[in-house]
Structures are given as C-alpha cells and as structure tokens.
Amino acid sequence: MTISPGGVAEPEFTVVEPPRSIFRRKRFLGVFLPAGLVAVAGAIALFAGGVLALPLRDVVVVSGRLASKAEFFTDAEVRRILMAHGIQVSLDRAGSRDIAVNSIDGYDFVFPSGQPAALLIKQRLAQSGHRPAKTYKPFFSPIVLATYREYADVLAKPAAEPVATVQKAARQDTPPLYYDMPMDRFIGVIQRGTTWDRLAAPDRRLDNSNRVLAQTSDLCSSNSSATYLGLVAFVANGNVIPQTEADAVALARKIKPLLTAQGLPGDDLSRSYLAPDGQGLAPIAVIYEHQFLAHQLRALGQTGKVDDRRVLLYPAAQLQTVPEFLALTPEGERLGELITTDPHLRRRALELGFRVFEADDTLTTGQFAEFLTERHLPVPSSGIGDTETFLPSLPLLEKMITEIGEC
C-alpha cells in the first residue's frame, strides 16, 4: 500500500507568506531566527535519523500477521532503520498456527515462528491458486525452558540423575546462566504428578505447591507449544518419531495428561515469565532463546549487570526453530529482502537475541557467539540442531495438536 504525500507522517513545508512588515522588525527576527534554526535543525535530525521519511519519498506501509517475531518489528531501532528505507510495518499479532489456519487475505506478509506453520500456509496458498510466497529466513532461535535460579538449583540438586546440569562451558566466577536438561528425566518428574515443594532436594525447598511442569502457550495457536509437544512426544516414545496416524494418535493420547495439567494456557507466556512476578506466574516457561537473551541484553544495558535470577534449561534433544517470513506481495518481498540482507538490521537481530545465519547459510554460532562475548554475556554451549529431526511429518503433527489441544 502506498501512501500519497500528506498521508502517514508525511512532512510538508508550508510556505507562509506573512506581511513583509513583520519580517522586517528586529524583535521578530530576534525570536524567529534562532527558533527557526532550531526547528530546521531538528527537522533535519529527524529525517536523517529515519524517524520521518524524506519529503519526496513515499512511505510504504507493509502489513503483516506474525507471532513472537513481532518483537523484532516493534523494536524502536528496527522501526527507525526501516523508516529510513521508507517502510513502516503494521503488525497484527496472532499465534503461528492461528495465522496458518485462518485467513491471511489483505496482508503483505506473514511471519509464523516455525516451519510447521509456514508449511501449512504454503500448502494452503498452493491449494487456493495463490502465487507462491517468497520465503526469507533472516534469523533463528531455539526453543528453551526458561526458569529461575532457585528452580534450576533444585532440579540440578540430586547427585544421581539430576534433571538439570550446569553447562560445561560455564565460567567459574559467575553463577551459571545455562543448564542442559535431559528431557526424559524431566518428563518422568511431570509424569509422577509431584509438586514443586515436594521435589526431593536435600537442603532446599521451593515454596510452590503447584505441579511440576513446563507452561506453554495455547497448543491450538502457538508454534513454541507445538514444538514442545513434538519434543515430549519424541522422548516419551523412546526417541522414535511416530510414522503412522494410528501411532501418532496413540502417542498423543499417552502424553496428553503431561501437556494439559497446566489447565487453560495463558497468553503472552514470555511476558508472564519476564514480569517482576514471573517466578510465581511461570516458573518454567517454554519460550524462545531470543526472548530470554533480549531481556538479558536489556538488563545489561540498563543496569550493567546480568539478571542472574533468570536462567535457561536447554533440552538435550535440541529444538531449532527457523521462523519463515513469507512475502505475499511485492511490498512484502521488499521487506523480506531488507531484513535478510541489510547489515544494520542483521546487527540489530543479534542485539535482540536472535542467532543469524552465517555467510554460508549454516546454523553455526560464529557471529552470535562473537556478539555475546563482546557484550560480556556468556555463550550457551548448546542451541544448535535441527528441529525437523524429531518433529513428525506435518499431517501427523497436526493430528497430535488437534488431538491434545482439542482444536
């Protein structure tokens, strides 16, 4: 959509023709000149900074429907860079699966958080005779179980079969931020139906009588919870991916109690987790690594210190999620191209906690590790893997989602 001059935030210099006599008066000039200069200087600064578009360039409003990756586009710095390119993004937030199963008419792009939803959308587009969406993969981020130090401590406490272990690469002088989590043990704890305050840890006790589990967003709408479902299913099935519909349904029924014990899922899980009251709202939350790292980078920027109350558990079976930006219109393609190739936007993605692809398109950690080190944030030693290796095929995953979530 193109906005003609005079539309959205379109600056326009109106030349006012005042009576000559006013301009000639010294008092007027005394007031106007300095003030006018300030105004002009300010306006130039605004244009240069990209807050306002240059007068003669059209501002294009690009509208998209997206889930957790909206956090990239709501960032003030990203908006500024895009505005400097004459792009303003209008966001409509919805869960990834929600985007995939509902109408996407009228949007320039959709940006579900993971491959399953993206695949679903591409299939729907093909069926409806829509031109194929151009796909961009600007960054990626693994699924993690975000928790609090007290909780991680209790999980890591038992000498035999601890449910969490401090990552090997951790520095000795600071409290660890990252733990590895053998999922089979964690699932065992969930299966027992025990509560946090009954978890056996010799010298510490958690003051929480809720059941031990990881909270997820709504299974019917979100990619993170669908991916977590895939992980739980894979582990509960002895590290085997279900191959037939009957297997998938049977497995779904078996693991359903593990995923529904949390009751009605809340929305905005990362916000609940990151809230000052987060430890009581979502002591273990299934979120994306970038949401945690963005918080830590913000904390470092504001206080100079890492928030060491909050830590990450990395499931031993790794969950890489590569969100796919699907452009539905030429405007969408322009935006997709920009976020994938513009060096400032790629840099900003790192600053927002995302991992970026290396020049050779591999999922290695070179730039990501370099960046975190530069910011004095420890580098997690896991987070590389391929999500498709343990997710069942799309129709089977869908079957499991609808079976468990009753969608």
Partner 1 sequence: MRTAALLVLLALLAGCVASPPEQVRLTVLADRDLADLRPLLDDLRRETGVELAMEYVDDPDVELASGRYRHDLAWPVTDRYLHLREKAEGRSNALPTSTTVMSSPLVVGVRPAAAARLGATPSWADIADRAAAGELRFGMTDPAGSGSGLAALVGVATAAAGTGGALTSEQVSCVALGGFLTGQVLRPRTSTELLAQFIARQDEVDAVVEHESTLLALNASGKLRAPLEIVYPRDGMMLSRFPLILLDPARRDGYQRATTWLQGERAQRWIMEHTSRRAADPALERPQRLRAPIGNALYFPDRQEVLDALLAAYRRLTSGGTHQVVFVLDYSASMAGPRVERLRAAFAALSGTGTGGFARFHLGETITVLRFAGTVLQQQEVTITGQSDVDSLAPVVAAAADGRGTAIWSALDQAYRSVRGDAVVVLMTDGENNAGISAAEFLGAGKRPVPTYAVALGEADPAELDGVARSTGGRVVEATEASLEAAVREIRGCR
Footprint of partner 1 (CB under 8 A): 6-7, 9-14, 16, 18, 22, 25, 27-28, 31-32, 35-36, 39, 43, 52, 90-94, 97-98, 101-102, 193-196, 207-211, 218, 220-221, 260-268, 271, 274-278, 280-283, 298, 405-407
Measured distance CA(181)–CA(315) in Å, rounded? 5
Cβ closer to partner 1: 230 or 278? 278
Cβ closer to partner 1: 144 or 322? 144
Element (H, E) at 89: strand 87-93
- Minimum distance from residue 71 beta carbon to partner 1 (Å): 12
Measured distance CA(223)–CA(119) in Å, rounded? 12
- Minimum distance from residue 19 beta carbon to partner 1 (Å): 10
Measured distance CA(55)–CA(173) in Å, rounded? 54
Tokens of 147: 């928790």
Q: Is 225 left (phi over 0), alpha (psi -120 to 50) or beta?
A: alpha
Closest CA to 305 of 354, 252, 248, 375: 375
- Minimum distance from residue 58 beta carbon to partner 1 (Å): 15
- Minimum distance from residue 94 beta carbon to partner 1 (Å): 7
Q: Is 82 exposed, middle or buried (0-12, 13-18, 19+ CB in 10 A)?
A: buried
- Minimum distance from residue 12 beta carbon to partner 1 (Å): 6
Cβ closer to partner 1: 176 or 265? 265
Coil/strand/helix, residue 144:
strand
- Minimum distance from residue 265 beta carbon to partner 1 (Å): 8
- Minimum distance from residue 35 beta carbon to partner 1 (Å): 6
Tokens of 95: 């869960």
- Minimum distance from residue 98 beta carbon to partner 1 (Å): 7
Coil/strand/helix, residue 72:
helix
Cβ closer to partner 1: 193 or 330? 193
Question: Which DSSP category does 158 fall into?
Answer: -
Cβ closer to partner 1: 308 or 406? 406
DSSP 182-244: -HHHHHHHHHHT-BGGGS--TT---S--SBP--B-S-TTT-HHHHHHHHHHHHHHTTS----S
- Minimum distance from residue 83 beta carbon to partner 1 (Å): 14
Per the CB < 8 A criterion, the answer to whether 63 and 2 are in contact is no
Cβ closer to partner 1: 165 or 260? 260
Cβ closer to partner 1: 44 or 250? 44
Cβ closer to partner 1: 284 or 356? 284
Neighbours of 15 (CB within 10 A): 4
Question: Which DSSP category does 40 fall into?
Answer: H
Per the CB < 8 A criterion, the answer to whether 90 and 61 are in contact is yes
Cβ closer to partner 1: 87 or 258? 258
